[in-house]
Amino acid sequence: MSEQKPFNQNVIAIIWDFDKTLSPVFMQQPLFEHFGVDEERFWKEVNALPAYYAKINVTVQPDSCYLGHLLTCVREGIMPGLNNRLLRELGARIPLYPGLPECFDRINRLLDHDEYAEADLRVEHYVVSTGLKEMILGTPIASKLSGIWACEFIEVPASFGYNPDSAPEHGVISQIATLLDNTTKTRALFEINKGVNKTPGISVNDAIPETSRRVPFRNMIYIADGPSDIPCFSVVRKNGGMTYAVYDPASKRHFQQAVGLQESERVHAFGPADYTENSHTDWWLRYQVRRIADRMLEERKNALNKSIQPAPTHGA
């Protein structure tokens, strides 16, 4: 008897970065506008933090130290009253590239008919970002997603000796709950790969054969914009998935960056961050989803044929 697999492996996972991939701006822009904070000054200070703390031999991560600087702004009254609810409300103000969020539904409908539907093949969308989860949850994209990996804040931390049966209190954000940097984003890929986000009791560190994982890497498409995504590009491409870089059509530098990613074989292809129907990027995405789905169907047919023992026939 063949071994029963824990998952049907019927999912194509499209995994998106957020800033400069789904939005032309850094998602925190509405946050700075709301509190009247100079965005350029904030990021300039953040970029100088690693060297500042290095003077006392303290290492801070360049990708995520902005989180602590946001907490400093709250503590010093520069962003008074900032809480998770407000972050989500401000997320609704994040501008999106053309064609979003409609592109998600259009891609999903590709598998709603024919053999794809009979085989229960489907697309799931995920965002993996070093940005803020609550802000992403405030966007129109949130309802289209099967999961979000991003940074989170605690408002009122549990006191020493707290009652675990009580609910946390609400207040202003005061501690970092979860942080992702450009390297730890790869952990999210393995969690999607193994089904950690969908099945209780499975850990990302559990040893699971690739043939038994929920979403094999070859059934993934990773879409992002820049060199900071190279760790994720590398994991997906090395393991048989597809990678795609987008660029801001209004930025020559961004275009050149995408060209460099393809020339260095980090991505299979690149195109403008325009997700409208029949755009270059829309065509590429739809083509790849159908190609992966067709391959999944072919693999199922081959596996079925191998499992069938022909019935004996009468001799001549």
Query: Would you give per-residue pLDDT tens digits along the chain (316 residues)?
Result: 344 455 679 999 999 999 999 999 999 999 999 999 999 999 999 999 999 999 999 999 999 999 999 999 999 999 999 999 999 999 999 999 999 999 999 999 999 988 999 999 999 999 999 999 999 999 999 999 999 999 999 999 999 999 999 999 999 999 999 999 999 999 999 999 999 888 777 777 777 877 788 999 999 999 999 888 999 999 999 999 999 999 999 999 999 999 999 999 999 999 999 999 999 999 999 999 999 999 999 988 876 666 666 656 665 5
- Determine the pLDDT at residue 307: 64
**Cα distance from N-terminal residue to C-terminal residue, the chain:** 32
13: how many CB neighbours lie within 10 A of its CB? 24
Find out whether 99 and 279 touch, Cβ atoms under 8 Å. yes
Find out whether 155 and 172 touch, Cβ atoms under 8 Å. yes
Three-state SS at 227 = helix
> In CATH, what class is 11-161+169-306?
alpha beta
pTM: 0.92
* Residue 161 exposed, middle or buried by CB count within 10 Å (0-12, 13-18, 19+): exposed
pLDDT per residue as tens digits for the range 84-111? 999 999 999 999 999 999 999 999 999 9
Cα–Cα distance measured from residue 248 to residue 225, given in angstroms and rounded to the nearest whole number: 9
DSSP per residue, 177-201: EE---TTTHHHHHHHHHHTTTTSTT
- Determine the pLDDT at residue 212: 80
Maximal C-alpha separation, the chain: 93
Cis-peptide into 62, omega within 30 deg:
no
Query: Which bin fits 201, alpha (ψ -120 to 50), beta or left (φ > 0)?
Result: left
Residue with tokens 């001549």: 316
Which residues does residue 223 pair with via DSSP β-bridges, in sequence order? 16, 244
Find out whether 262 and 252 touch, Cβ atoms under 8 Å. no
- Determine the pLDDT at residue 280: 98
Tokens representing 221 are 């498409």
- Determine the pLDDT at residue 300: 87
- Determine the pLDDT at residue 1: 35
Cα–Cα distance measured from residue 186 to residue 189, given in angstroms and rounded to the nearest whole number: 5
- Determine the pLDDT at residue 2: 42
Cα–Cα distance measured from residue 74 to residue 174, given in angstroms and rounded to the nearest whole number: 8
